[in-house]
Amino acid sequence: MTDARDAVAAVVDPEIRVITIDELGILRSVDEDPATGRVVVTITPTYTGCPAMDVIRADIRRALAAAGHPEAEVRTVYSPAWSTDWISETGRAKLTAAGIAPPAPARVGTVVPLTLAVRCPRCGSPETEQVSRFGSTACKALWRCRSCFEPFDHVKAL
């Protein structure tokens, strides 16, 4: 039997296939009842209408069953609302490597940093512009770099 937390943490986001739900901050908790072995997973969508949630819940159940935990409950909670601050540093690095600009942290301790520009994930230039508020998925916007002329997705800051 594999650790339930490890099995769930390895589930890949179905819309952004380079990052896990743990790295994206969707995974809130994995609790196992030692007496019964029943696992309860708590997740929070990136936004209320996220169309990927049914797939994520099914992938979590599949991963847990493969890890020897067939009795699993997946709970979806909306409060507190998901924040881009929940994306891990590893997740941010993976997004950048895949050509997707992650949002800057909304808070660094008690300081709220000011984002002056979205940097191009390919060349690093701050000379970018938003082309459309609507990107390849509902949680991303389409941007273009004025330096290397490449389009890229940017995870919308929430």
Number of domains in the chain: 2
Residue 133 lies in a domain: yes
Q: Where are the alpha helices (DSSP H) in 15-154?
A: 21-24, 53-66, 89-97
16 and 71 fall within a common domain: yes
Residue 59 lies in a domain: yes
Q: Which of 144, 103, 136, 157 is nearest to 17 (CA)?
A: 136
In tens digits, what is the pLDDT along the chain, a chain of 158 residues?
569 999 999 999 999 999 999 999 999 999 998 888 899 999 999 988 888 999 999 999 999 999 999 989 999 999 999 988 899 999 999 999 999 999 877 767 777 777 778 999 999 999 999 999 988 888 899 999 999 999 999 998 76
Domain that holds residue 56: 4-76
pTM, to two decimals: 0.82
Residue 106 lies in a domain: yes
Asked if residue 4 lies in contact with residue 32, where contact means CB atoms within 8 angstroms, the answer is yes
Residue 92 lies in a domain: no
8 and 51 fall within a common domain: yes
Residue 82 lies in a domain: no
> For residue 73, what are the contacts with CB-CB under 8 A and spacing of at least 6?
38, 39, 40, 41
Q: What are phi and psi of 129, to 5 degrees?
A: -145, 145
Q: What is the CATH number of the domain that holds 66?
A: 3.30.300.130
